[in-house]
Structure 1
Amino acid sequence: MENKEDESKLKAAQKQINDDVQDKFNNNDTDVQTQEEDNGQRQEEDLNLGDTSSLTVTERNELFQRGLEYEQKGLPNLALQCYRGCINGLKSKSLFVLLPQCLHNIAHIYREQENYEQAIHFAQAEKLFYETSLIETEEIQKKIEEIGTGIGDAPKDINDLNIHALQAEEYEHLAKLCLDKNQ
């Protein structure tokens, strides 16, 4: 019974992350504006990314890399457009492994621009992502322990094996996220 409650809390937290990020993305399209070239300053334009909600994993990763390049070149508004394009339309259980880094970078840019309300919001979304990942890890660990205590018993149902394989994939995904965060 407790596992079902944990599962529903986890799903609610994941949905809240996705909804919050999507709301912030949709409500702040006016944040990125064109700046005129003045006294040697670089000109920043709207990238006109269009609808990024249906990007593939590879396209999202490439857009994230573009954002990193803009940020390194000192073009934070262009980087912000790329990062926000990456998170537009993300669904629960999507495979965008750069999500926590993307949220972190968005928060960092807003902090640098002294837009603290937005910075806090995206920092909280990043924190919620990691908390959700920890909950998932605990659930996977419980399942592994349950399997371990069942050694020597009757063979497992094929559906149970499929669930455990899926959970192993989720654990592998979490490990990749942790590795990406350490880069």
Structure 2
Amino acid sequence: MVTTRNTTSNNEQPNHNDTSSPSQNPENLRQQLSSTASKLNALDALVADLVDREVEANENEYEEGINQQDMTEISFHAILSKTSGTTMKVEGTLEGIKVLTLVDSGSTHNFISASLVKQLGLKVSRVPSFGVQIGNGQVIQCNQICRGLSLVLPGLKITEDYFPFSIGGADLVLGIKWLASLNTV
């Protein structure tokens, strides 16, 4: 008669019913899961708060951009086309037509003569209305823009957006917006 002997010990074969290990105890597992869930909820709240702050920061930047646009200025030099220590007149071409451009560090943006826009039949797009403050403090509303106009000056081609405006003596005004793009302002 042959007898077989079971040679496996308890150490070699896992006992699935053993609850002596703290990590295998169902109550400990529940506590660990509860703790992990609490941490995930806290992390979720933190992420939501960060997202809210980012959205708020973006909204503030947008509002500041609107406020900056509300403070757009054009100098008296640009309106009257008078030269000064902060301006320079340059002849060039726009749409094949000779134009006189006033480079003016006293103007915040680029402007184009409203009569030139009409004469050349340039495409005008609507923008949200904003005020343009002229040299005497008066604010004139503007709600149009001519986008992507290519101005050719001696040795230079400039593609910019321009706000149509009543200016005398010059056809275009290149302001700080363009000058800043040169990284020299």
TM superposition score category, shorter chain reference: under 0.3
Point out the structure with the larger helix share: 1
The TM-score normalised by the length of structure 1 is: 0.27
The TM-score normalised by the length of structure 2 is: 0.26
Please identify the structure whose Cα radius of gyration is greater.
2
